[in-house]
Amino acid sequence: QVQLQESGPGLVKPSGTLSLSCAVSGDSSSRCHWWGWVRQSPGKGLEWIGEISRGGHTNYNPSLRSRVTISVDESTNQFSLNLNSVTAADTAVYYCARVGCGYSFFDYWGQGILVTVSS
Amino acid sequence: DIQMTQSPSTLSASVGDRVTMTCRASQYISTWLAWYQQKPGKAPKLLIYKASTLGSGVPSKFSGSGSGTEFTLTITSLQPDDFATYYCQQYDTYPWTFGQGTKVEVK
């Protein structure tokens, strides 16, 4: 059973950098899956942030591209999200998720982590 | 970006009802559409992908249909566990986008 678990600070100061990690377990089979980040805020609903392949290829939402970096560490089965220059508008629940094999829907999700941007 | 519009925003129903909700895309997306169920405080759960293919372990009471720009999700014999919010997502064109959700509530 594939499991994902987000971790990181729950509070980030304005203009700072939001850094989250996602630990993946139970997924040792196919290499075709990508890994993604989605966030959810009351004001904007569900928003796709970006995705990364095991080989490190990335796709980002253009609305966030200038501030986002997603990276992967295959040796530790983790992938990470960095979002810089954060504002209150970046306050949201952040989910990591596995992307379906060959298709960009999300078949497994982490439980989510609330990140609040506030001084 | 492709805009996904779900209707209704809220659907009031009773246990045992058959309910249908709609998702419309602002442009053609073939059948590259997924449906998710989300309960309060929980992550979304995949129900359907490719517009009509059930996700792993999803009961057949859930069904999806449609292609192009108009899609539906139907739930038969609504049970207490089915009261939740349902989201559609297109994965035809970057950036992937979600609908705003349909909340199924107790009538």
Q: What is the mean predicted confidence (pLDDT) over B66-82? A: 97
Measured in angstroms, the CA of A16 and the nearest CA of chain B are apart by 25
Which chain B positions have a beta carbon within 8 Å of A100's beta carbon?
Answer: 49
Q: What is the mean predicted confidence (pLDDT) over B89-93? A: 97
Closest CA to B5 of B20, B28, B22: B22
Phi and psi angles of residue A100, each rounded to the nearest 5 degrees, phi first: -55, 150
Residue B15: pLDDT over 70: yes
Q: What is the mean predicted confidence (pLDDT) over B43-64? A: 97
Residue B29: pLDDT over 90: yes
Which chain A positions have a beta carbon within 8 Å of B100's beta carbon?
Answer: 45
Any B CB within 8 A of A41 CB:
no
Q: What is the pLDDT of residue A30?
A: 64
Minimum CA–CA partner of A96 in chain B: B43
Which B-chain residues 29-68 have CB contacts (< 8 A) with chain A? Answer: 32, 34, 36, 42-46, 49-50, 55-56
Residue B45: pLDDT over 90: yes
Do B43 and A111 count as a contact with CB atoms less than 8 A apart?
yes
Q: What is the pLDDT of residue A27?
A: 75
| Low-confidence residues in chain A, pLDDT < 70 | 28-30
Percent of chain B with pLDDT over 70: 100
Q: What is the mean predicted confidence (pLDDT) over B28-50? A: 97
Which chain A positions have a beta carbon within 8 Å of B45's beta carbon?
Answer: 109
Any A CB within 8 A of B71 CB:
no
Q: A18-32: per-residue pLDDT in tens?
A: 999 999 998 766 678
Listed in order, strand segments (DSSP E) in chain B are 4-7, 10-13, 19-25, 33-38, 45-49, 53-54, 62-67, 70-75, 85-90, 97-98, 102-106
Mean pLDDT of chain A: 94
Q: What is the pLDDT of residue A28?
A: 65
Q: What is the pLDDT of residue A39?
A: 98
Residue B41: pLDDT over 80: yes
